[in-house]
Amino acid sequence: MKKFVPVLLFMSVLFTLFAGVGQAASAAVVPKLYLNDQLLKPTVDPQIVQKGYTIVPIRLVSESIGYKVTWMEESQTVIIHSETDEIILKINDSIALVNNEKVQMDTPAVVLKGNTLIPLRFIGDNLGIKVVWNNDSKSVYLYKDDKPVDPTDPSTPPTDPPPGTTGKLTSVLYDGMNGIVVNYEGTATAKTPFKLDNPKRIVIDFPNVGYSDELAAQFSGAEGKIPVTGHATLTQIRYSVFSNSPTTARIVLDLSADAGVELTPGTNELRISMTDGTTTTPTDPTTPTDPTTPVDPNPPTNKVYNVVIDAGHGGTDPGAKSILTGKWEKEFNLALSLKVKALLDKEKNIKPLLSRPDDNFVTLANRVTFAKTNKADLFLSIHANSNPKSDVTGSETYYYREDSKAFANVIHKHFAKGTGLKDRGVKKESFHVIRETTMPAVLLEAGFLSNLSDSNTLFSDAAQTKMAQAIVAGIKEYLKLS
């Protein structure tokens, strides 16, 4: 069985610790927990249940280190996704699914004060987290990677930065208008920001950077939070420790709608200014600035191009929900993908390949691997959009690498016309499947399921046929087959 994710590493080790001291300690004693030298303050404390088994809140550290936890109210099910793994736990059921394998748990997951708490032993093998435990102070020090030195005073977290750390963030402030000011000591250089969806957010990482004691003291649980009101798109600012090898500080900007950022460095200060959604992030210096011709302009007549059609989401990851029909994005994505494949099957010079041919969960990493393994010439991912504002409408096309821009322009020219919806243009974003693939790759957002008119169009069989025809026309033009 695969190793899962750091959040599960964290919880599996806690089981061993709590089970070992549970018989001698009072049930009222709750140990202090530190993750990567940061004190954790869970809203619901870990619980020691029947026969000394321990359960802990699933969201305790998961979202602060970049993993997705989904709660399905109707089925009372918790789903945990990373890019490579999936765990499914049903409330009051002692059988869990780990990467589609059934695993017997010692005690089922439960809900307490609106929080889901999960058992630990079933994920306890070969997990590799390093721990320092002090029984006198009932403190647990958890380190994701580097082996720590036993703290001389376990009642407080170590204050010295890990080896290799070049600086510390000393404050993260919202200026009340349109910017975030990050102050630091030492050296702190931000990596190129990238965007994530469902929910929309912008992520900015600072490698080799930690936090000052004063700023870390403001953490609630595993992260600090700054609520934002009155801004057009920014709803909250979060900051946490993303990694301990190397130490990496992460700032996450939660959004209500698409937006961009501009970074302006100063003396021991970085200003993050919000921009509209069309703003692109700085080009990676390793990325070619001039797009190369991705396909042979005069291909031989017997050339067969492998084209991956990627239906977004699937299985336990349903995507956005239609405001009109209650159907899920995954249904639209698959339906349109199958129509595109059916049309491409008729083309002698194109071999269509489906990364998700049915309603199953496929990780982002596996979608990328599928395209690389099949030596795809093109990669096209199909999605539908959503927005808190129900009047937002239209279709848009995304690319990331410069060698995908020409493909995006050609596809969008046909696709936007084929949907019949508002043309929202071609945009550059750091979506995993178009960032990590090596062939020209685009991601289509057909329309907004949060909009009544868009949703009606997307789930129309006739409209889907027109969209499929438009996609095929774009692929053929790009490959110079039309």
Could you give the domains of the chain?
A: 6-67+108-143 (no CATH), 167-275 (2.60.40.3500), 305-478 (3.40.630.40)
- Could you give the C-alpha distances from 175 to 65, 78, 304, 348, 359, in angstroms and in order? 26, 37, 55, 58, 45
At residue 291, the pLDDT reads 43
Vertex 111 angle, CA 106 and 112, to 5°:
110
Q: pLDDT at residue 21 above 60?
A: no
- For a pLDDT cut of 90, what percent of the chain falls above it? 37
Query: Residue 195 and residue 197: Cα distance in Å, rounded?
Result: 7
**Residue whose tokens read 């920001």:** 193
Mean pLDDT lowest for which of 127-131, 268-272, 429-433?
127-131
Q: Which residue has the higher pLDDT, 371 or 137?
A: 371
Task: Count Cα atoms within 13 angstroms, Cβ side, for 461.
Answer: 0
Q: pLDDT at residue 38 above 80?
A: no
Is 63 an annotated catalytic residue?
A: no
- For 18, the enclosing helix (H) or strand (E) is helix 6-21
- Could you give the C-alpha distances from 395 to 278, 457, 465, in angstroms and in order? 14, 12, 16
Which two tokens mark 377? 């010439």
**Can you tell me whether residue 232 is helix, strand or coil?**
coil
**pTM of the predicted model over 0.85:** no
Q: pLDDT at residue 129 above 80?
A: no
Mean pLDDT lowest for which of 128-142, 239-253, 327-341?
128-142
At residue 311, the pLDDT reads 96
Which residues are CB-neighbours of 473 under 8 A, at least 6 positions away?
A: 414, 418, 482
Contact 236, 180 (CB under 8 A): no
Q: Which of 86, 331, 396, 445 is catalytic?
A: 445
- Could you give the C-alpha distances from 86 to 96, 287, 382, 420, in angstroms and in order? 11, 32, 22, 37
